Chains A and B, each alone.
Chain A
Amino acid sequence: MTTRSPVTTLVRGAVAGLAIAAALYGCASAPTAQDDAALTARTIAMMKASFRPKGQAGMDRLDQDETQRLCSQYAEGKLPESVVKKIEQENLAAVKYPADGTLVGDWKAGEKVAELGRGMQFSDDPKKPNGANCYACHQLSPKQEAYGTIGPSLYQFGKKRGYTDQTRTYAWAKVYDAEAFSACTNMPRFGQHHILTEQQIRDVVALLVDPASPVNQ
């Protein structure tokens, strides 16, 4: 019983070899999910110790909701299809439509909201209305040439999509919570995070879908 059969020795050798190979593979490859979670935990701990509340920006601004957590976790790789679905479904379910059913406001007021960059920064007066700063990322009215390119051009948004209920409902929901249609988009969730009021969203929707809006000329 004390002598090992050649088969046992072979098997043991193979197991040891596999263990070493696995260990080496672990060293050379990307960090494991466990390593990554530990690094994330250390990062969050460091962040909490490195900021202080100021103005309207409290420390709770650092706390992530599930969408933010997932978008951070997968920021450097490809989003798995299951995660895309989860984010979009949860955000779509969170979209609130106005009680009176009026989705479209005044495009002139919407233009002001689209231009205004102020809002939610610790340097901003919380008593003043927030802006959406749409032009920071999007082309809208052709009259405003100082527009950014982080988002797609929205010139002729309504004209191209058609002046239908479907277009109006989509525009409302997209401004309210863009994650409902495009997981981990760069676009803020203006309704979901109470950046804009219901009336401001109506006005921005009007800028997009009103046939008289300069966006649709």
Chain B
Amino acid sequence: MPSIRSLRLITGAVAIGAALLAGPVVAQTTLENASAKYRQDLAEGNPADLWVARGQEMWTQPRGPKKVSFESCDLGQGPGVVKGAYATLPRYFPDAGRVMDLETRLVWCMVNQQGYTHAEATKLTFGNGSRHRSDLEALTAYVAKESDGVKMNVSLADPHVKEMYDIGKKAFFYHAGTHDFACATCHASDDLRIRLQYLPNLTKPAGAQKAYTTWPAYRVAQGETRSFQWRLHDCFRQQRFPDLIYGSDLSIALTTYLAASANGAVYVGPGIKL
């Protein structure tokens, strides 16, 4: 199975690589068609499934100094329950006294239940190629997959969550840095493109829904399945901001704003993106 997928992946990558290498004088439609075809090809076998399978395997394994599996980890639906959990996150966890997204909660379980130090648990948050895959990205892909087909339903009834939503929305419009960029610079209008890449308007339900419900996603250009924490982290890099700390309150605030903006839409991830 993986070999067929890999083959398809390589074929697609070569096709796109060739299109890009053809130089600046590439008809836009050619490139867009190639991209569309590639996505269509991969839809039959999203490589993200490999991350999902690895995450699923890890979920039941005894882990860390305390040899405890994630079956004790409560994502808000009871210990070990993954079905539909991703579609309700972020949420407030009284045992931690914090609003948490999935990734922050996984780290919390690794530290508080499995006995890892925080540094150990967050040693490799984002994979950097086939030799160093991230456990967190695999676990995230698995838990997210268990919400495939479930409607997004992030409740703002808890005042802690509402506060994170409000701050996330404020931060979305915060202009700073050498380039004056805010999230809103690229993501507050319809049908804009950066180069040939279409940008979702995250201030409207349709845009937020389409974007949020397809993360985590397999990134073709990187050969990695990326989480929403990665998405935010890399957006801020391009915004010329400093380094967004994994699981920081701001990362959770922005996730809360965007996840709640996607409420009502059916979660269909992990997705696949160029």
Chain A contact residues, CB within 8 Å of chain B: 39-40, 42-44, 46-47, 49-54, 57-59, 61-64, 67-68, 71-72, 75-76, 115, 120-123, 135-137, 143-150, 179, 184, 186, 188-189, 193-195
The answer to whether A193 and B179 touch across the interface, beta carbons within 8 angstroms, is yes
The answer to whether A75 and B175 touch across the interface, beta carbons within 8 angstroms, is yes
Whether A50 contacts B251 in the complex (CB less than 8 A), given A43-B167, A137-B194, A146-B195, comes out as yes
B194 contact set on A, CB distance < 8 A: 136-137, 148, 150
Q: State how many residues of chain B have any CB contact under 8 Å with chain A.
A: 48
Question: For the complex, what is the distance from the CA of A195 to the CA of B173, rounded to whole Å?
Answer: 22
Nearest residue, chain A, Cβ from B31? A146
The answer to whether A68 and B176 touch across the interface, beta carbons within 8 angstroms, is yes
The answer to whether A146 and B180 touch across the interface, beta carbons within 8 angstroms, is no
Whether A150 contacts B186 in the complex (CB less than 8 A), given A53-B242, A61-B240, A122-B242, comes out as yes
Residue of A40, A148, A179 near B193 (CB, 8 A) is A148
B184 contact set on A, CB distance < 8 A: 75
Nearest residue, chain A, Cβ from B189? A150
The answer to whether B180 and A67 touch across the interface, beta carbons within 8 angstroms, is yes
Q: How many contacts A-B (CB < 8 Å)?
A: 145
Question: For the complex, what is the distance from the CA of A184 to the CA of B180, rounded to whole Å?
Answer: 9
Question: For the complex, what is the distance from the CA of A193 to the CA of B244, rounded to whole Å?
Answer: 22
A62 contact set on B, CB distance < 8 A: 176-177, 241-242
The answer to whether A46 and B167 touch across the interface, beta carbons within 8 angstroms, is yes
Surface stretch bound by A, among B21-29, B37-45, B59-67: B21-29
The answer to whether B24 and A50 touch across the interface, beta carbons within 8 angstroms, is no
The answer to whether A52 and B245 touch across the interface, beta carbons within 8 angstroms, is yes
